[in-house]
Structure formats: structure tokens, C-alpha cells
A and B are shown apart, each in its own frame.
Chain A
Amino acid sequence: MASLKVYIVRRVLLAIPMIFILLSIVFLIMRVAGDPVSAILGGHAPQEQIEQIKQQLGLNKPIIFQFFGYIGQLLRGNLGRSLIWGQRPVVNEIWDHFPATLELSISAFLISIIIGIFTGTVAATHRNRFLDHTFRLYGIITYGLFIPWIGIMLQLLFGVYLGLLPIGGRIGTLMEPKSITGLYVLDSLLTLNFDSLVSAIKHLILPSVTLGVYLSGIYTRLTRTHLMETLEKDFIKAARARGLSERAVIYKHGLKNAFIPILTMMGLQFALLLVGAVLTEITFSWPGMGTLLFERITYRDFTTVQGIIVFFALIVVTVNLLVDIIYAYIDPRIRY
């Protein structure tokens, strides 16, 4: 496994230029679209006041100085301070909002995988029959849907008409459990606070179903294709010829082999999961990184936006590394 370490180091080193390029683009685009001073003060503030604040924030320096100054701080692990309101450190802003996004992403991810693999397996084993056509259609339609639209429809149905579930927020007022991990469902469980647990789950259902359904279509189609391909293979015929039950053949031999390309896709889809989380959070006023990002883009809070982007990029790189490691664990043929 020594070569796995080399591989990981190489991948991490490769991530550095990637993040640098990403950051340069974000840095420039943000500055093209205005600055935080006018966003906060509005168009009619006196010129001296604007200049004064700009100087305070260091926005009067040439852009190239700003850029390398920022990079220099970043290399020391300093994400800087927010440019607006309390000027809190960006790291604190991120850590305050990250658990909400993590909670939403995990549950949406689980929902998408469960729905996707289940429908894909049923479709593959009912080839060209009714259930196959139904789930294939499901796979294409959900992929084409727009997250806020799914969200609004669910809010209308379950929130407004049926009145079963809340349409926004993370938890009922003053019901937050004692913070341990920041994930409300987990924290309520750890502190045995059942009122909070029920409230947290109720709030979590609609956003995670919205995002989960949107992402599941890809897994439906992927599972169907790869399982069908795997079930044609000789070792499946051989397993049947040894008298194995159809269940053992499909799940133990078929699905496990089909899972390898699905796993690759999970790594690749992770960026999409984050994008989806941003849209979902905005739709459901979910107080996570997505809502934070959206809000701070509106206010041109350069440092916070840049910090969030760097953080997202690091997560994507880490998850892809994890996928590669799991890959080697599942498939004995892969050695790095």
C-alpha cells in the first residue's frame, strides 16, 4: 500500500494548481461585477465615505496586489475576514454553516443512492418490460428537472396543501439540540432530545428528497446500464449453472461488479451534489453554505465567496480521493 500513499500525495499536489486557477477566475469575476462598498451603502453615499471604506478594506490597491496579497495569506492558511457587517473571520462563517450543508448533502446522497440503485436494479431485471420503461423515464425526467421547481412543488403539496411538513428552515424555533457535531439529527440523537429529533427530521425531509430525487435519476440509468451489462457476462451464467439463487446472482455477483462504475460516478457527481445543495438551500431557506454563498455574492463579499469556493474545491478533491481508495478496496485488480 506504499504506492497508495504516493498516489494520494500526487493527487493532492495536482489539486493545488486546480484550486489556484479556480480561485483566479472567481477573484476576477467577482471584481468585474461591482464591490461590497456600493452594495452595502447603495448608490447615493458620499464619495469620501466610499473612498474611506475602500481604503479600510484594502480595495483601493491595484487588483494584482490584492490578488497576490490574498494568495499569500491563503498559503499561510488564512482565509481572511468577511468584508461586510461584523467582518468575522471567513473560517468562522464557513464552520457555522457547513454542518447544515453536510446534513443536507448526506441525507440527499443516501436518498439518491437508495432510489437510484433500487430502480436501476428493477429496471435491469425487467428489461423492456413496463417497470423498465417506467424507471428509464424516471431517470431521464428527474435529471432534466430544475431543483427549485421540484422544491416548490413539494412545498406546495406537503407544506401548503397537506400541511404535513415545514417548508423552510432547519428546525423549529428554540428547538436546537446542544451542539456536538452541528448535525441536528445526530446531535438530538446523542443528547436523547426527541422533540428536536422529530423537528429536525421533519425539516430535513423535503430538502433532501428534492435534492435526492434530482440526483437519483443518474444512478437509475447508470445502475440499469451497468447491471444489464454485467448480467450478460460469463461469470453470471457460470454462477447460475452452479445453482445459485437468482438473488445471490443479481446482488452478490451482478450488483457488486456493476457498482464499480457507479462508484466512479459518485465521485464525479459530488460536485453536482454541492451545486444542487446550493440551489436546494436557497429554495428551502436552509441555513447552510449555499444560502451563505448566495447572500454573500449579492453583497460582493469577496473574501467570504473566495473562501467558500476554496473550501468546496477541497471537499471535492478529498471525496474523489476517498472514492479512489474505496475503489481499490472493492476491486482487487486495482492497485496504485
Chain B
Amino acid sequence: MEALLRIKNLKVYYYLREGVVKAVDGVNFSMRKGETVGLVGESGSGKSTLGLSILKLVPSPGKIVDGQILFDSKDITKLDNKKMRMIRGKQVSMVFQDPMTSLNPLMRIEDHLTETIKTHQKVTQEEAKEKAALLLGEVGIPPERAKDYPHQFSGGMRQRVGIALAIALNPDLLIADEFTSSLDVIVQFQILNLMKKLKASYNMGMIFISHDISLVSEIADKIALMYAGQIVEFAPADAFFEEHLHPYSEALLNSVPNVQLSDQKLSYIPGMPPDLVNPPKGCRFYPRCPYAKDLCREKEPPLIEVKPDYMVKCFRYDEKRS
């Protein structure tokens, strides 16, 4: 299958008074049509910035400084704002983290949808309304609520609206940034199931950004694990949970509680994630890595393909292969 999205050596920096924050620093990544990639990492690892750069919506003072984002084989880093607007919402759409704040409080639910539809399609108000009603039906919102305002909806309902907005124009790629994080667990489960269903019927590719690795495991075909602005492991989901080759992946999975193992001893990762203004020179994880060697301090490891579709950014697998 052809690649839907291919990111090459992407660097996104924030130019702050305190220095240059290298939020995304040399990310390589690709996904196919209809595939779901779970982009996992802790707070500040650059996963949200990566998601926003695909829409070219990195907030100022952030900038895409280097690299390519090939969407449908076009490099969107070269597109101007006008061309970008035709992609946003239509080919690539986004569901945001906080449904309480991501809808305009002064606009009716229905108007959010018709506005989005009419921005991209030449249709009459009536046709847009019909389409809106259809979309609300798809996400499980009764038609009589269409004329309500956001504040009359619960968090879960609002996130359903967020999803309806994101699928309104049948995009090829949906970026979901922590879109269930602010919901309680039961609602989280419902929304996630809704998303699974819609993803299948619309045949969308999806990047599911989350810090919650067990949630990601519910929906992702592939896992991309980010650490300090870089992808350190990129693998099919099943293989990842089986093998988790990178020392960070290993440490991370050991720190996730498992209900089936009642006497499991939870571990934690010593130290702190590095300062992204002055990241370590070599491997970014070496100060916290139990396997660190001198080489790791000096040189940044490449992303090594240990087997087909399985990439790890660690020198340990360089040795094993050679």
C-alpha cells in the first residue's frame, strides 16, 4: 500500500527568550492509508507539536525549521497558508484534547458543522444542514440537540461533536490529540469505540496522540514512541508490546500497572527527561539508561531497522546485527 504520510527529518523549534526549545528534533516516520498510529510519549516529548506541524499550526514562536512532511506525496511544509487551508479539515483533520474549550461557546452545534462543510464545499445552507444532521446521527447525538449551544452538552457529548467536525469532510487522516484524556473512564471507552467504528467505515488513517500506553493499545496498529523530541521506537503494536526493544520502552512498560499480575512490582524511570534547550549530545536517553555506554554519550544512535517495519533508535541493536 502507498504511504499516506511520510515525515522526513522534521525539526520544529520554539524560539523562546530562554533559548531554542528543540521540541521535535529529527523525526522520521511514515504511515499508510487507513492505518492507526499511536504516538506515545510523556508530557513535553514533542508529540503534540508533531501533530500540529502536520497541519502547519504550530503556535508562535514555534517554527518548522527543517525536514519534509509528505502528505499524498506533496511536501506540505512548502505550501502557503491558502493551500494549507484547503487541506485542514478536509484532508487532514484534528480532534482536540479538551472538548470543553474547543467549541465556540456562542455558536450552535449545528452551525459549527455547517460552517465547516460550507468552508470546503459549495453547498446551500439547507444541504449543509442535512449533512450536519447525518453527521450528528453518526456520532450518536439526537437530532433535536442540533440547535443547542456547547454549554448545554456534557464533556462526552461535546467530544462527539468534535469527532463529527473532524469526519465531516471525510478526511484521509485524522489527528486525535489526547482526545479522551479529559473524559472519565466509561465515557473514554464509549468514545474510543465510536472512533474505532467510524475509522473503519470512513477508512481514515489516524494518528492517536496519547501519554496513556494502555489506551493506545486498544486502537493502534502501530506504535511510535517519542522521547525528548525524537521517535525512539516505531513498530507494529503487537510486536511492540511483545518485544519493546528500546531501553526507554522497556522501562516505560515496566512502570504500567497490570491488573492480571497482582503481585507485580511497579518500577519507575530514575532521573528526569532532558532539557530540550540543551539536550544531551549523544543519545537523549543515556543519562537514564541502565545499558548506557561511552558511545551513547558521544554519538546519537541512528534509527535501526531490526526487522521489517520495526525500528529502534539504540546502539544495542547495531551491535547485534553486525
Chain A residues in the interface with B (C-beta under 8 A): 233-235, 237-246, 248, 253, 256-257, 330-333
Contact = CB atoms under 8 A, between A and B. Distances in A.
A146 to B, nearest CB: 38
Contacts of A256: 106
B281 interface: no
B252 interface: no
Contacts of B116: 242-244
Interface in B96-116: 96-98, 101-107, 115-116
Interface of B: 55, 57, 59, 81, 85-90, 93-94, 96-98, 101-107, 115-116, 119-120, 149, 151, 162, 165
A257 B104 contact: yes
Contact of A333 (B93, B97, B103, B105): B105
Given A235-B102, A235-B103, A235-B104, A333 B151 contact: yes
Contacts of A245: 85, 119
B309 to A, nearest CB: 30
B90 A332 contact: no
Contacts of A233: 101
Contact of B90 (A234, A243, A253, A257): A243
B25 to A, nearest CB: 23
A256 B57 CA distance: 22
27 contacts: A235-B104, A235-B105, A237-B57, A237-B96, A237-B102, A238-B94, A240-B57, A241-B57, A241-B88, A242-B88, A242-B89, A242-B115, A242-B116, A243-B89, A243-B116, A243-B119, A244-B89, A244-B116, A245-B85, A248-B115, A248-B119, A330-B106, A332-B105, A332-B106, A332-B151, A333-B105, A333-B151
A253 B104 contact: yes
Nearest to B100: A234
Contacts of B151: 332-333
Contacts of A330: 106
B236 to A, nearest CB: 29
A237 B119 CA distance: 16
Contact of A240 (B88, B104, B105, B115): B88
Contacts of A257: 104-106
A331 B115 CA distance: 19
**Chain A's interface: helix, strand, loop or mixed, by majority?**
helix
- For the complex of A and B, 4 pairs with smallest distance between CB atoms: A243-B89, A242-B89, A243-B88, A234-B101
A166 B93 CA distance: 59
Contact of B119 (A234, A238, A244, A332): A244
Nearest to B151: A333
A303 B243 CA distance: 93
A229 B220 CA distance: 36
Contact of A241 (B81, B93, B103): B93
A238 B107 CA distance: 13
A248 B49 CA distance: 24
A11 B300 CA distance: 70
A245 B84 CA distance: 10
A175 B291 CA distance: 96
Contacts of A239: 104
Contacts of A242: 88-89, 93, 115-116, 119, 165
Contacts of B120: 243
Contacts of A234: 96-98, 101-102
A243 B101 contact: no
A328 B27 CA distance: 49
Contacts of A253: 104, 107
A238 B103 contact: yes
Contact of B87 (A235, A243, A331, A333): A243
A242 B175 CA distance: 12
Nearest to A244: B119
A107 to B, nearest CB: 29
